Amino acid sequence: MKFSKAAIVAKPHEGVAQYLQQAISVLEEYGLAYVLEKTAAELLRRPSFCVREDIAAQADLIVVLGGDGTFLSVARQAAEAQVPVAGFNLGTLGFLTAMKKEKLAEELGLILEGRAVVSRRKLLQVDFKGRSHTALNDVVVNKGTIARIIKLLLTIDGTTVAEVKADGLILSTPTGSTAYSISAGGPIVSPEVNGIVITPICPHSLTFRPLVVPDASKISVQLLTPHMDTFVTVDGQMAMPFNFEESIQVRTHHKPLSMLLAPGTSYFRLLYEKLNWGL
């Protein structure tokens, strides 16, 4: 991949200004123009910036300095515009911002030289109330604060699978299998697997276990419990009220996200390090 203009997105962290300067220096060394997202511009006290909602329209490469939440905030529009994203982790965990800040200059340079590993990540599309939304990690149906379970009708490709009595249901991509789904007991699924993970949240029946279904599946979830505060959330960043007898339709989105990683990056090594499997 060759690039002409990069957009830099950052989250305020201790020492983030020095990493912003490093990223800019590398871009300038390789002759790339760049634009700063508003937060990044404020951190460097630059007057010129682009708002995050328009970042994918401003460049042919997005560089994220932050954590997974910062990555998610640009991932959906990046996938729609087919702009690749390179994420450098400034926090602790970071499955999406997989590259380390200590190697920012070196690994960003390798990416700009065209030596990046390109990981194509599937997204989900959720259709609800006449509108479509996309999710890189997950679509979640969950109840509000009342300590009662909800009942959901799960249908896959027109076939009724189960009436799920639980606190909620998580539909995740393989990428999102290490997010909310893993906390609810779901499996870790390699991003190379073409599937959708369905994980119940605290199911009333212990016989209903997490499922992995083909990514060509068309999934419907209908709320069967009246008078409950229930919500549909997309990547943990958008919440929509979900009412009695309403349903959502979920399927794989037709455009993947291109994640750029440094040469030699391994998903299984990432699991080893992030989940402390070496201890």
Question: Any residues with CB less than 8 A from the CB of 268 and at least 6 apart, and which?
Answer: none
Distance CA 33, CA 36 (A): 10
H helices present in the chain, as ranges: 16-29, 38-43, 68-81, 104-112, 180-183, 267-274
Catalytic residue among 54, 60, 68, 229: 68
- DSSP code at position 8: E
Q: What token pair was written down for 82?
A: 């087919």
- DSSP code at position 1: -
Count of other CB atoms within 10 angstroms of residue 38: 15
Distance CA 32, CA 26 (A): 9
For residues 270 and 119, the answer to whether their CB atoms sit within 8 Å is no
Concerning whether 68 is annotated as a catalytic residue, the answer is yes
Question: Any residues with CB less than 8 A from the CB of 57 and at least 6 apart, and which?
Answer: 81
Active site members: 68
